[in-house]
Amino acid sequence: MKESLCFVTQTATEAILLRVTNVCGECYGDLKLGDTIHYDTQNYRFLCDCCKEKLCSRMNEKCEIVHDEADPTLFC
């Protein structure tokens, strides 16, 4: 897994889940208590593990999206 400064990895707590209405900001998949989630510091939203990986694969080290198309093998 590629580490990135573009995301802050956290464990989902009730307080966080309340703020994000329990869904991922990208795929709207359910986030559950205790899930590993990632705060997207560029877009101010929380993402599930899968969406974070997808975004990471499209970003350069400056958190800029450099590939328009996501790798089709990386669908959630």
Which residue of 6, 24, 55, 56 would you call a contact of Zn ion, by CB under 5 A?
24
Stretch that binds Zn ion, among 4-12, 13-21, 29-37, 55-63 (CB under 5 A): 29-37
User: Any contact of residue 23 with Zn ion (CB under 5 A)?
Assistant: no
Q: 6: how many CB neighbours lie within 10 A of its CB?
A: 20
The Cα-based distances of 2 to 15, 18, 20, 65, 68 in angstroms read 27, 28, 25, 15, 19
User: Any contact of residue 48 with Zn ion (CB under 5 A)?
Assistant: yes
Stretch that binds Zn ion, among 1-9, 12-20, 50-58, 65-73 (CB under 5 A): 50-58
